[in-house]
């Protein structure tokens, strides 16, 4: 699996629609300070479901929408889509190519899509669990993040190892099963109470 392309429109400094094609190998993005290199990495993190504006170097999520320049009016939405080669089926979805996209309007309304079908953020999170690619993944290491990882609490650092070991989805399934069991225990208690009243 590798990143084939990214399409950006209205996200941060990218007012015009741009498409970057990548190939299987190493790609470097070069440019002067402030030209938008980190914004490309932010776009990848955002489309993968990042919900924390601070991780995207902003104050609020609306800060990712192109805010205008002296010569250009602000835009009303931000759009990013990434296409991944999935010919090795590293992502458990029955497609050779997977496109994930996200759009956010100034009103706060947002939408996510997988291969052009609307989906929930949860679906995107689940698609990338244990691949190292999701928003918590280690495949995007931002500026200053290494220091952050080294100085983070052991429990937080553990999440990174869990993701690399591929056990996040099992931990989540376990949590869901425990929650269901607790709900069922409550139901049983209620039924026992009703039965006692009836006797």
Question: Annotated binding site: which residue ranges?
Answer: 32-39
CB of 9 to ligand ATP, least distance (A): 12
> Judged by CB under 6 A, does residue 66 bind ligand ATP?
yes
> Judged by CB under 6 A, does residue 33 bind ligand ATP?
yes
Closest CB to ligand ATP among residues 12, 103? 12
Element (H or E) spanning 130, and its range?
none
What HEC string does 39-54 produce? HHHHHHHHHCCCCCHH
> Judged by CB under 6 A, does residue 67 bind ligand ATP?
yes
Q: How far is CA 174 from CA 3, 134, 156, 169, in A?
A: 31, 20, 19, 9
**Applying CB under 6 A, what is the total number of residues that bind ligand ATP?**
14
Instruction: Out of 21, 63, 97, 175, name the contact with ligand ATP by CB under 6 A.
Output: 63
Closest CB to ligand ATP among residues 60, 196? 60
CB of 152 to ligand ATP, least distance (A): 23
> What is d(CA 44, CA 6) in angstroms, rounded to the nearest whole number?
8
> Judged by CB under 6 A, does residue 36 bind ligand ATP?
yes
DSSP structure class, residue 15: -
| 79 contacts 103 by C-beta, under 8 angstroms | yes
> Judged by CB under 6 A, does residue 55 bind ligand ATP?
no
Tokens of 189: 């208690």
Closest CB to ligand ATP among residues 67, 99? 67
3-state secondary structure of 159: helix
Residues 10-29 contacting ligand ATP, CB under 6 A: 12-13
Q: How far is CA 67 from CA 11, 57, 85, 91, 106, in A?
A: 9, 14, 32, 35, 10
Closest CB to ligand ATP among residues 12, 135? 12
> Judged by CB under 6 A, does residue 101 bind ligand ATP?
no
Element (H or E) spanning 187, and its range?
helix 168-198
State the residues that interact with ligand ATP by CB under 6 A.
Answer: 12-13, 31, 33-39, 63, 65-67
């Amino acid at each position: 699996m590798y990143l084939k392309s990214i399409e950006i429109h209205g996200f941060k400094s990218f007012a015009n629609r741009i498409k970057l094609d990548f190939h299987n190998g190493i790609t470097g993005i070069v440019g002067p300070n402030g030209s938008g290199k980190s914004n490309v990495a932010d776009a990848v993190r955002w489309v993968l479901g990042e919900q924390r504006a601070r991780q995207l170097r902003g104050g609020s999520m609306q800060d990712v929408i192109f805010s205008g320049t002296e010569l250009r009016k602000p835009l009303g939405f931000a759009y990013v889509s990434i296409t991944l080669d999935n010919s090795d089926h590293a992502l458990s979805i029955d497609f050779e190519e997977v496109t994930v996209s996200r759009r956010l309007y100034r009103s706060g309304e947002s939408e996510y899509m997988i291969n052009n079908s609307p989906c929930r953020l949860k679906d995107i999170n689940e698609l990338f669990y244990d691949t190292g690619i999701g928003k918590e993944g280690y495949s995007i290491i931002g500026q200053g993040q290494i220091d952050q990882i080294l100085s983070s609490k052991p429990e937080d650092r553990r999440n990174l190892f869990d993701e690399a070991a591929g056990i996040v989805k099992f931990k989540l399934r376990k949590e869901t099963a425990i929650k269901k069991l607790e709900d069922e225990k409550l139901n049983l208690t209620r039924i026992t109470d009703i039965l006692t009243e009836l006797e």
